[in-house]
Amino acid sequence: MADTTPTTNNQINFWGKLSAGLLLIFFTAAAIYMLMAYWPNKMPPIKDGDDGAWYTNTCFKVTLIDKADTALLQKSKMIQGNIDSVQNRIKTDSTLKKDSALLKKLTDSLNNLKASKENIAKINPAIDEDKKIHLNTILLILVALMGFLGNMVHIASSFTSYVGNGTFLRNWVLWYFVKPFTAAGLAIIIYFIIRAGFLSYGAGAGGISLYGIMALSALAGLFTDSATLKLKEVFEVIFKPRDDRSGKLQGDALTISTISPDPLIAGTENTVVITGKNLNAAGLKITIDGNAVTPVTNTSEKLEIKYSPAAGAAKAVLVFADKSGNVLSNKEVTVKP
């Protein structure tokens, strides 16, 4: 028996194991860190829809912008528009003289506008048009991170088990690097499927079950192979066509590869062995020279039937038909005395 123990030259050394372990710790900790940084303080009311699902885009302070904050933000935007307008006029209006009363009035107005914007910033420093992030974007980030984290747990367990048993092979290093990122992509795919109608109890991002989607994303990362197979089942259920045409065999078409013996012996009971594909299709009818025969052995790839050709017959015609009588295949077999 061949020795299947991995050869030493395909193992990683101590420093390779240590580096891999540190990388596993780093990426796992980084995923946890980013999850905490982008976790929203609360979900928006469902009745507000997506318009009320804006948050401050500040790590570890992703806070829902409520209606009062939204009003302040709109006011700040309006003031900034006025500031830009005044500044543009001061720069481009050639009729303004340096010491004119109009220029002084515009300058005072500009200073007042800037002071008003600063006061709004003091009321709520987090309100900034350039630092907003929508809940839909937050969910995508969290889902990808949770899928990544779930797979990091999986590959860390796998790696330590193989290294501990002395069976880890360097051929699999790339797999360990790529797998978490593919798991993150898989988690996002599952998230989109769920947003299509599952675990959602209202319109808009606020209607999603945050903890439910996070749990499923983590499971998708932990069990990527199982999740992929389930997605395959979902795809086949949704997109598999239904064909109710009469005379159609289920699955692959019937094919006949060989018939033996050939020739048959006249006046003697012959055991005829037929090989091919889909030979046991439901409703299949088999006849030889118009006489119905019942197979002794009947599998998808092999049939055995008993048949005695009439004395003096030169050939026997083997016919396969469906339950409606439509001929699917016919073969002629030579008969000798």
Distances from the Cα of 85 to the Cα of 92, 93, 106, 110, angstroms: 11, 12, 10, 9
Beta bridge partner(s), residue 86: none
Considering the entire predicted model, what is its pTM? 0.56
When mean pLDDT is compared across 28-37, 215-224, 275-284, the lowest value belongs to 275-284
**Which spans in the chain are helix H?**
14-37, 67-92, 101-123, 135-165, 173-195, 210-222, 224-239
The Cα–Cα gap between 158 and 125 comes to: 46
- Residues 198, 56, 76, 66, Cα dihedral to 10°: 50
Residues 24-80: pLDDT tens digits?
999 999 999 999 999 999 888 888 777 778 888 888 988 887 765 666 666 667 777
pLDDT of residue 244: 55
Residues 147-205: pLDDT tens digits?
999 999 999 998 888 888 888 888 888 889 999 999 999 999 989 888 877 555 555 67
Is residue 307 within 8 A of residue 272, CB to CB? The reply is yes
| Domains present along the chain, CATH in parentheses | 11-38+135-239 (no CATH), 255-336 (2.60.40.10)
Amino acid at 328: L
Phi, psi of 121 (to 5 degrees): -65, -30
Residues 120-157: pLDDT tens digits?
666 555 555 567 888 999 999 999 999 999 999 999 99
Quote the percentage of the chain above a pLDDT of 70. 82
The Cα–Cα gap between 202 and 106 comes to: 50
The Cα–Cα gap between 180 and 185 comes to: 9
Could you count the other beta carbons within 10 Å of the beta carbon of residue 221? 30
When mean pLDDT is compared across 5-14, 79-88, 242-251, 278-287, the lowest value belongs to 242-251
